[in-house]
């Protein structure tokens, strides 16, 4: 019995009227008929919405198994591969297995996934490789490059791009292609040195970057100063759609905090700034005075992001804003690193996909844009004393 029927039973008068209307009798009032028609429309609409929602939900949950089943039935080659992997698990494992990945995003993302690929391969004792047409190949002298794909690649998916997934350290038996970003330093924490060797730039690029870098900061290096890089990403992360995803640009106050933090530790320094919005930087990134002397600052005017990247890796210490581009330049520079604490924006897609402990190495330092937390603590301390005082007064009465 639907709730509507229950309703009718409660008032027999209304029941009679509704019955008449539904059976097509002359309606008592045109208002009643209109109401009834509206009700029917709403019911149809509600049913339709529920149906569509249900189909979407089922598709969402069962999409991958459904595709797998579909291919298994329709493609003989796919069937052969799946069976081959099954057999592989049963037979003695004489032939090696391979693992590779599909690429997404840009330079920083590619580097992250390649480093993770090497770590995952090592943990599983698989052979890692990238296709020789991978864009990373044009920057670094990578050693794990292969002209041909391994046979029978099975896909595994990484659904949370910036969260460590221990399942990857124990892959299914078979040749595997990872689809996703796999961005956590925990995948390769046991092989930092090897990763650093992989990310050796091609000689001609390295020479060019060194020359350019020397042009910018050579005279300060001669003075024995340390070079602290500041990477300021703004352009694309300021767009509304990027903000909705969880991106944000670090504000001036954060860079002030970060510069102060670095100067407390390395007073004899110079700042080297690269950005996709160098005009903003020239107006907003102003180093504090040190012993009454201005701290020098140099702005890169390079127009290619690769040149900036290469120069960032040559700096001694790093101040980051957001994104994997800065992340990797800092990891390679291998000095003291400060990153922006308020990225990603809370309750956004990227926030959901990111576990900060998996994404940022533990020894990197998170700073925010609020005034130094020392002051904030002091503020809470006074608030606490005041509260205590009030409570005391209250109870003494
Ligand atoms: C993995 O790929 C290699 C090289 O193409 C192939 O010889 C081997 O049979 C494949 N193994 C499985 C289990 O598919
Ligand atoms: C700082 O960086 C410069 C340029 O890469 C390098 O020559 C120098 O040795 C570094 N200084 C320290 C103390 O690491």
pLDDT of residue 300 exceeding 90: yes
SS3 212: helix
Which ligand ends up closest to the CA of 216? 2
The residue contributing the CA closest to ligand 1 atom 14 is 152
Tens digit of pLDDT for each residue in 175-221?
Answer: 999 999 999 999 999 999 999 999 999 999 999 999 999 999 999 99
The residue contributing the CA closest to ligand 1 atom 7 is 151
Atom of ligand 1 nearest to the CA of 85: 13
Q: Output the CA 170–ligand 1 centroid distance in Å.
A: 18
pTM (predicted TM-score): 0.78
Which phi and psi (to 5°) does residue 308 adopt? -60, -45
Of 249-258, 298-307, 314-323, 379-388, least confident by mean pLDDT is 379-388
- Determine the Cα–Cα distance for residues 87 and 96; give it in Å rounded to an integer: 14
CB atoms under 10 Å from CB of 61, counted, come to 10
The residue contributing the CA closest to ligand 2 atom 1 is 316
Band the pLDDT of 311: cuts 50, 70, 90: very high
Write down the pLDDT at residue 235: 85
The residue contributing the CA closest to ligand 2 atom 2 is 316
Given a contact cutoff of 8 angstroms between Cβ atoms, the answer to whether 232 and 273 are in contact is yes
Tens digit of pLDDT for each residue in 47-80?
Answer: 999 999 999 998 888 888 888 889 889 888 888 8
Which residues sit with their C-beta closer than 6 Å to ligand 2? 221, 226-227, 314, 316
Write down the pLDDT at residue 353: 94
Q: Which two tokens stand for residue 42?
A: 């709403």
Band the pLDDT of 383: cuts 50, 70, 90: confident
Average pLDDT, the chain: 87
Q: How many helices (H) and strands (E) does the chain have?
A: 15, 14
Q: Output the CA 310–ligand 1 centroid distance in Å.
A: 37
CB atoms under 10 Å from CB of 29, counted, come to 10
Q: Output the CA 301–ligand 2 centroid distance in Å.
A: 22
Stretch 224-231: mean pLDDT: 96
Write down the pLDDT at residue 21: 46
Atom of ligand 1 nearest to the CA of 175: 1
Write down the pLDDT at residue 395: 66
pLDDT of residue 306 exceeding 80: yes
CA dihedral sign of residues 205, 327, 301, 226: negative
The residue contributing the CA closest to ligand 2 atom 9 is 316
Stretch 20-25: mean pLDDT: 48
- Determine the Cα–Cα distance for residues 258 and 275; give it in Å rounded to an integer: 16
Tens digit of pLDDT for each residue in 344-360?
Answer: 999 999 999 999 999 99
Stretch 311-317: mean pLDDT: 97
Q: What percent of the chain has pLDDT over 90?
A: 65
Buried b (16+ CB within 10 A) or exposed e, 66-103: eeeeeeeeeeeebeebbeebeebeeeeeeeebbbbbeb
Given a contact cutoff of 8 angstroms between Cβ atoms, the answer to whether 118 and 191 are in contact is yes
- Determine the Cα–Cα distance for residues 114 and 117; give it in Å rounded to an integer: 5
Which residues sit with their C-beta closer than 6 Å to ligand 1? 81, 84-85, 88, 95, 97-98, 150-152, 174-175
The residue contributing the CA closest to ligand 1 atom 9 is 151
User: Between 190 and 91, where is the model more confident?
Assistant: 190
How far does CA 238 lie from the centroid of its chain? 16
DSSP bridge partners of 179: 102, 157
CA dihedral sign of residues 314, 316, 321, 326: positive
Q: For residue 169, what are the contacts with CB-CB under 8 A and spacing of at least 6? A: 120, 123, 124, 187
Stretch 127-134: mean pLDDT: 94
pLDDT of residue 234 exceeding 80: yes
DSSP bridge partners of 164: none
Band the pLDDT of 33: cuts 50, 70, 90: confident
Q: Output the CA 84–ligand 1 centroid distance in Å.
A: 9
User: Between 139 and 291, where is the model more confident?
Assistant: 139
């Amino acid at each position: 019995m639907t709730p509507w029927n229950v309703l009718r039973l409660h008032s027999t008068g209304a029941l009679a009227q509704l019955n008449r209307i539904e059976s097509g009798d002359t309606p008592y009032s045109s208002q009643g008929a209109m109401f009834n028609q509206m009700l029917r429309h709403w019911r149809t609409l509600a049913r339709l919405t529920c149906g569509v929602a249900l189909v979407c939900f089922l598709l969402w949950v069962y999409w991958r198994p459904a595709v797998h089943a579909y291919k298994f039935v329709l493609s003989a080659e796919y069937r052969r591969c799946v069976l081959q992997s099954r057999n592989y698990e049963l037979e003695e494992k004489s032939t090696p297995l391979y693992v590779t990945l599909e690429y997404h995003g840009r330079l920083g993302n590619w580097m992250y996934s390649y480093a993770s690929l090497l770590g995952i391969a090592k943990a599983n004792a698989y052979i890692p490789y990238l296709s020789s047409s991978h864009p990373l190949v044009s920057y670094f002298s990578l050693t794990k490059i292969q002209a041909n794909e391994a046979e029978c690649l099975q896909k595994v998916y990484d659904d949370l791009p910036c969260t460590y997934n221990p399942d990857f350290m124990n892959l299914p038996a078979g040749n595997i292609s990872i689809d996703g970003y796999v961005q956590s330093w925990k995948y390769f924490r046991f092989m930092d040195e090897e990763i650093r060797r992989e990310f050796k730039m091609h000689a001609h690029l390295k020479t060019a970057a060194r020359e350019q870098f020397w042009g910018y900061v050579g005279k300060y290096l001669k003075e024995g100063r340390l070079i602290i890089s500041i990477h300021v990403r703004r352009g694309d992360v300021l767009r509304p759609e990027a903000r909705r995803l969880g991106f944000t640009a670090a504000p001036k106050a954060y860079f002030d905090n970060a510069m102060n933090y670095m100067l407390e530790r390395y007073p004899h320094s110079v700042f080297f700034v690269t950005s996709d919005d160098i005009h903003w930087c020239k107006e907003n990134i102003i180093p504090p005075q040190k012993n009454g002397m201005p701290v020098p600052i140099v702005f890169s005017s390079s127009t290619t992001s690769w040149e900036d990247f290469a120069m960032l890796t040559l700096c001694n210490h790093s101040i980051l804003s957001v994104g994997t581009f800065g992340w990797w330049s800092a990891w390679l520079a291998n000095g003291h690193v400060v990153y922006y604490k308020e990225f990603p924006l809370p309750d956004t897609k990227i926030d959901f996909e990111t576990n900060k402990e998996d994404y940022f190495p533990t020894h990197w330092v998170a700073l925010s844009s609020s005034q130094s937390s020392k002051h904030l603590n002091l503020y809470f301390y006074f608030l606490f004393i005041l509260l205590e005082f009030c409570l005391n007064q209250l109870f003494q009465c």
